[in-house]
Chains A and B, each alone.
Chain A
């Protein structure tokens, strides 16, 4: 044990480089985990954290809120079917909005989501203020507060100049990685008219359904889908997960994680294998003068633990420094679960890879010390 720590002190550069490599890899893995989760949350958070249990798109909408348009006939079909306890309209569009006084006043692309009833499309993660109660009021995503979407700010839809007051903030309710406003359906209609006076009254983009008591939302979705091939009903989580692009993002990151996940144990394993190889003569001598193999393996594992522990701590520290910021409109956050999972995975991987070195230590023959040869030489 003493020797293991002494060696760490003496060979600072070598062990320092390894710790730096592990730290960089851990940092990158965790950063990308945050990026993936932040991206998905910024992309479909407004769908995941709205109150409707089932969302009905038009098949043509390809599961994109803005791409779907529900005709009056289809709306009547759903309402008359009795499949849902309650039905409401949701309209969604992307607008150019000048933020309020707390921001820098530079117009930004903003999603506006209008709903008829708080139980059918309203935000469920309110963290401050209140839900809209009057026309031209909105709940904004909390991460956009400092951009000029704080409670009390009055934002302006361009062109046309419709003024909307922010009365509440909700967490994880962004859509398409843009600032997002939840308003009454009428306010949404007013925003559309403000932007494009040529447009008629827009049809709802999706219908929000509440399942009858005791009926699972998935059953309601199945019943609605049976009404017409033009309807595409999804439960709330399905609607979030099956938004185009979400699966692609997940698959891409999975490949990246897999590759990085292999590199950490490989780097650690290679390092200790070479070290063990280089120290073969010294280790043989130690065995010859009575040092038991388990002591030597214990020393090796102490060094592995110090390197992995140091790398993990440093990597997590770096990650913690940037995990509270924003990256290109994506809100990053410190993901405790991801940290714990990756610490466990990388520790196990690192320890397994160091077993190759342990095997080599066990293979040392103390007799070789009398011939002047080390193992492996």
Chain B
């Protein structure tokens, strides 16, 4: 083991090219993971923030707020279901927002949430005409007191506070009262307006001790199949593109880990061939194959760990350098850790390819009688 570490210290140049490749692969893993995290966070934040256990849509809405409409009679039926503690109406309107101090063509992407109950992180929904904004709007110059003119009708909403991680499909949420949302919808998107007391969806809190999935099934049964009730997590995953993004990126990350395995295997197979004579001598003086292989694995782990540290720093630098609103990159400690673990495991697996060759080294070769 000491020999392996000493070689790394004494001859770092021998490992530099492989290290550079591993840095690039680690950076790729971290970038791909960060991209996935950024996309998912910006798509699902508002749904994940819903303070309840279940989200009720119209069955035909395909889990979309915009196409769902829960009538008052349906709400009554839902609230009468055993296990339903409370329900809160919710509706959305995706519109552009202007600031009074910016040009008429300079708009912000916002989604107005009219909610009877506040999302996680908020104590209460503000008054009519006011909104609590997603904190991503801060990066675009919005502060408390900013008046936003929503939609072509220039409906006014005054920002009175901020809440974190409530983006919806890449747009910043503005949390306001149902009355303000209805007015905004009616004046800006008459084709989407709903009747009085009709909401696009309901957020249901399940009574203590009740099973969320059982209550969801009971709700859909109580409405005669007119509703589709999902857990909040399932509703977030059901947003357009979320599952396909996750699947696609995970597949790409998986193949990239496979490439890391092959690269490490290749590099250490070459090193093993190069050191065959040396291993013969070491075995002749009593070194066990296990010890030699341990040294190889140790070198691979150290090399990969160094690559992860450098790549992690590069990923963080990349994250800081990318301007907000361009690439949806989100580098987190968890993602860096996970990518590092992937690479370290790949290094160990890759090294295993050299084990057979190492076992075949004959100690007799050290005195010239082996092949």
Contacts and interface: CB of A to CB of B under 8 A. Distances in A.
Interface of A: 13-14, 17-18, 20-21, 24-25, 27-28, 31-32, 35, 58-62, 67, 69, 71, 93-96, 107-109, 158-159, 176-178, 192, 195-196, 198-203, 229-230, 232, 244-245, 247-248, 251-252, 255-256, 259-260, 262-263, 266-267, 269-271, 273-275, 277-278, 327-330
Given A60-B151, A67-B95, A107-B60, A266 B262 contact: no
A260 B25 CA distance: 8
A256 B32 contact: yes
Contact of B21 (A62, A109, A270): A270
Contacts of B258: 24
Nearest to B149: A60
B190 A199 contact: yes
A94 B190 CA distance: 16
A267 B96 contact: no
Greatest chain A CB density within 10 A among B20, B67, B107, B328 is at: B67
Interface in B96-111: 96, 103-105, 107, 109
Interface of B: 17-18, 20-21, 24-25, 27-28, 31-32, 35, 58, 60-62, 64, 66-67, 69, 94-96, 103-105, 107, 109, 151-152, 170, 188-195, 198, 240-241, 243-245, 247-248, 252, 255-256, 258-259, 262-263, 265-267, 269-271, 273-274, 318, 326-329, 353
Contacts of A177: 240-241, 244
B95 A60 contact: yes
B327 A59 contact: no
A271 B21 CA distance: 11
B248 A270 contact: no
B42 to A, nearest CB: 10
Kindly list the 8 A-B residue pairs having the minimum CB-CB distance in the complex, ordered from nearest.
A328-B244, A202-B191, A229-B104, A158-B60, A60-B96, A21-B262, A270-B17, A17-B266
Contacts, number: 171
A165 to B, nearest CB: 20
B266 A18 contact: yes
Given A107-B60, A328-B244, A270 B18 contact: yes
Contacts of A244: 109, 170
Nearest to B266: A17
Contact of B252 (A28, A195, A198): A28
B269 A17 contact: yes
13 contacts: A21-B263, A24-B262, A28-B256, A35-B248, A93-B191, A109-B64, A196-B192, A199-B190, A202-B191, A252-B35, A252-B327, A263-B21, A270-B18
Greatest chain B CB density within 10 A among A28, A32, A247, A273 is at: A28
A206 B285 CA distance: 83
B267 A270 contact: yes
Nearest to A278: B274
B62 A107 contact: yes
A91 to B, nearest CB: 9
B262 A27 contact: no
Greatest chain A CB density within 10 A among B25, B60, B247 is at: B60
Nearest to B69: A196
B28 A27 contact: no
Contact of A198 (B103, B188, B195, B263): B195
B284 to A, nearest CB: 22
Contacts of B66: 94
A62 B62 CA distance: 25
Given A96-B60, A269-B17, A61 B244 contact: no
Contacts of B245: 328
Given A27-B255, A262-B24, A327-B248, A60 B263 contact: no
Contact of B17 (A14, A69, A159, A273): A273
B252 A32 contact: yes
Nearest to A356: B17
Contacts of A107: 60, 62
B27 A259 contact: yes
B162 to A, nearest CB: 22
Contact of B266 (A14, A201, A263): A14
A198 B244 contact: no
A17 B17 contact: no
A108 B62 CA distance: 7
Greatest chain A CB density within 10 A among B18, B69, B241 is at: B241
A17 B67 contact: no
B35 A274 contact: no
A109 B192 contact: no
B151 A198 contact: no
Nearest to B152: A60
A263 B259 contact: yes
A327 B327 contact: no
Nearest to A66: B94
Nearest to B243: A328
A62 B96 contact: yes
A14 B274 CA distance: 12
A270 B266 CA distance: 10
Nearest to B16: A270
Nearest to A91: B191
Contact of A67 (B21, B96, B263): B96
Contact of B259 (A24, A230, A248): A24
A265 B157 CA distance: 55
Contacts of A35: 248
A260 B64 CA distance: 37
Contacts of A25: 259
Given A32-B252, A59-B105, A263 B60 contact: no
Given A20-B262, A159-B60, A278-B274, A13 B269 contact: yes
Contact of A263 (B25, B192, B326): B25
Contacts of B17: 266, 269-270, 273
B252 to A, nearest CB: 7
A58 B95 CA distance: 11
A318 B256 CA distance: 15
B192 A199 contact: yes
B267 to A, nearest CB: 7
Given A24-B259, A195-B67, A278-B270, A255 B24 contact: no
Nearest to A225: B105
Contacts of B61: 96
A21 B35 CA distance: 24
Contacts of B151: 60
Given A24-B262, A244-B109, 4 more contacts: A28-B252, A256-B28, A259-B31, A263-B259
A248 B270 contact: no
A92 B192 CA distance: 13
Contacts of A109: 62, 64, 240
Contact of B189 (A14, A69, A94): A69
B28 A61 contact: no
A149 to B, nearest CB: 16
